[in-house]
């Protein structure tokens, strides 16, 4: 059934688009996952770890739990990245709508206290993912991956996945 709730659209699309772009990474070898680019976090693997790590960190805030350690590059395979992304998306979806969208959540980072509404966190984490997926699509294009996977909200909707 189609959803029209903006938070649901953002969360479900983010998970779907991550899955599509990760599927396109399956044919990459270890050297391609580490090939340097002047975009994103510099490599496909590092950009994915950053994106997934951000989902985890913001979900920790939404869940009102202690922040987990950052993900670090350790030769993760695409299959491991897919597993991490799916876990992060499921956790995010579970906690994103755990309160009103105008609820204010606070966390201390680097000795300074920051506050965000639940709605702003959802908007940020999903648009952050879109930003890095665009970089990943460009990396995949440079690596010769064709066709590039669908990833936009409109493609998600037109494919009937919405």
pLDDT surpasses 60 at 1? no
Q: What's the pLDDT score for residue 100?
A: 96
Which residues face 117 on adjacent strands? 104
Mean pLDDT of 78-88: 98
Torsion of CA 25, 28, 34, 37, to 10 degrees: -70
Using one digit for the tens of pLDDT, what is the confidence trace for 143-156?
999 999 999 999 99
Mean pLDDT of 93-119: 95
Prediction pTM value: 0.95
Model confidence at 162, pLDDT cuts 50, 70, 90, reads confident
Tell me the domains of the chain and their CATH numbers: 6-144 (1.20.120.450)
pLDDT surpasses 80 at 2? no
Using one digit for the tens of pLDDT, what is the confidence trace for 3-45?
889 999 999 999 999 999 999 999 999 999 999 999 999 999 9
* Helix spans in the chain (H): 6-25, 30-33, 44-62, 78-96, 118-142, 153-158
CB 24 within 8 A of CB 140: yes
Residue 54: alpha-carbon gap to chain centroid: 7
CB 40 within 8 A of CB 135: yes
d(CA 12, CA 2): 11
Q: What's the pLDDT score for residue 65?
A: 95
Q: How many residues does the chain have?
A: 162
The pLDDT > 90 percentage for the chain reads 92
Report in angstroms the alpha-carbon separations of 83 from 23, 34, 76, 86: 12, 19, 10, 5
Using one digit for the tens of pLDDT, what is the confidence trace for 43-76?
999 999 999 999 999 999 999 999 999 999 889 9
């Amino acid at each position: 059934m189609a959803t029209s709730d903006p938070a649901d659209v953002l969360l479900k699309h983010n998970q779907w688009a991550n899955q599509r772009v990760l599927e396109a990474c399956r044919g990459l070898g270890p050297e391609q996952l580490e090939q340097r680019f002047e975009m994103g976090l510099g490599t496909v693997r590092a950009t994915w770890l950053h994106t997934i790590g951000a989902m985890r960190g913001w979900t920790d805030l939404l869940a009102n739990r202690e922040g987990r350690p950052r993900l670090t590059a350790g030769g993760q395979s695409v299959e491991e990245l897919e597993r991490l992304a799916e876990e992060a998306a499921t956790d995010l979806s579970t906690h994103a709508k755990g309160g009103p969208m105008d609820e204010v959540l606070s966390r201390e980072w680097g000795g300074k206290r920051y506050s965000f509404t639940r709605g702003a966190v959802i908007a940020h984490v999903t648009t952050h993912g879109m930003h890095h997926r665009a970089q990943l699509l460009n990396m995949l294009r440079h690596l010769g991956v064709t066709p590039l996977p669908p990833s936009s909200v409109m493609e998600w909707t037109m494919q009937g996945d919405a």
